[in-house]
């Protein structure tokens, strides 16, 4: 089984919760571009922002950053 990228895990969890990138960004206090870059595996946000995103998605920091 292939390992999912952190961006794929975040996108799948966000979609499972039925929220948009905009809603996730607002709830986590980060920009939509931060969410998009993470989901596209373009760039990992700062640890602080990863933690905020993980909390909103009810994921561990390891699940979001791995």
Q: State residue 63's pLDDT score.
A: 84
- Split at pLDDT 50, 70, 90, the class of 6 is confident
Residue 39: inside a domain, yes or no? yes
DSSP letter string, 6-54: HHHHHHHHHHHHT--HHHHHHHHT--HHHHHHHHTTS----HHHHHHHH
Residue 1 lies in a domain: no
Cβ pair 31, 46 in contact under 8 A: no
Which residue range is the domain that position 12 belongs to?
6-65
* CATH number of the domain encompassing residue 32: 1.10.260.40
Q: Could you give the CA distance from residue 66 to residue 47 in angstroms, rounded to a whole number?
A: 12
pLDDT at 1: 45
Q: What is the domain count for the chain?
A: 1
pLDDT of residue 58 exceeding 50, the answer is: yes
């Amino acid at each position: 089984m292939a390992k999912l990228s952190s961006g794929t895990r975040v996108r799948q969890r966000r979609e499972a919760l039925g929220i948009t990138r905009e809603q996730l960004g607002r709830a986590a206090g980060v920009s939509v571009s931060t969410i998009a870059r993470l989901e596209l595996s373009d760039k990992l946000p700062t640890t602080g922002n990863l933690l905020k995103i993980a909390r909103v998605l009810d994921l561990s920091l390891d699940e979001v950053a791995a």
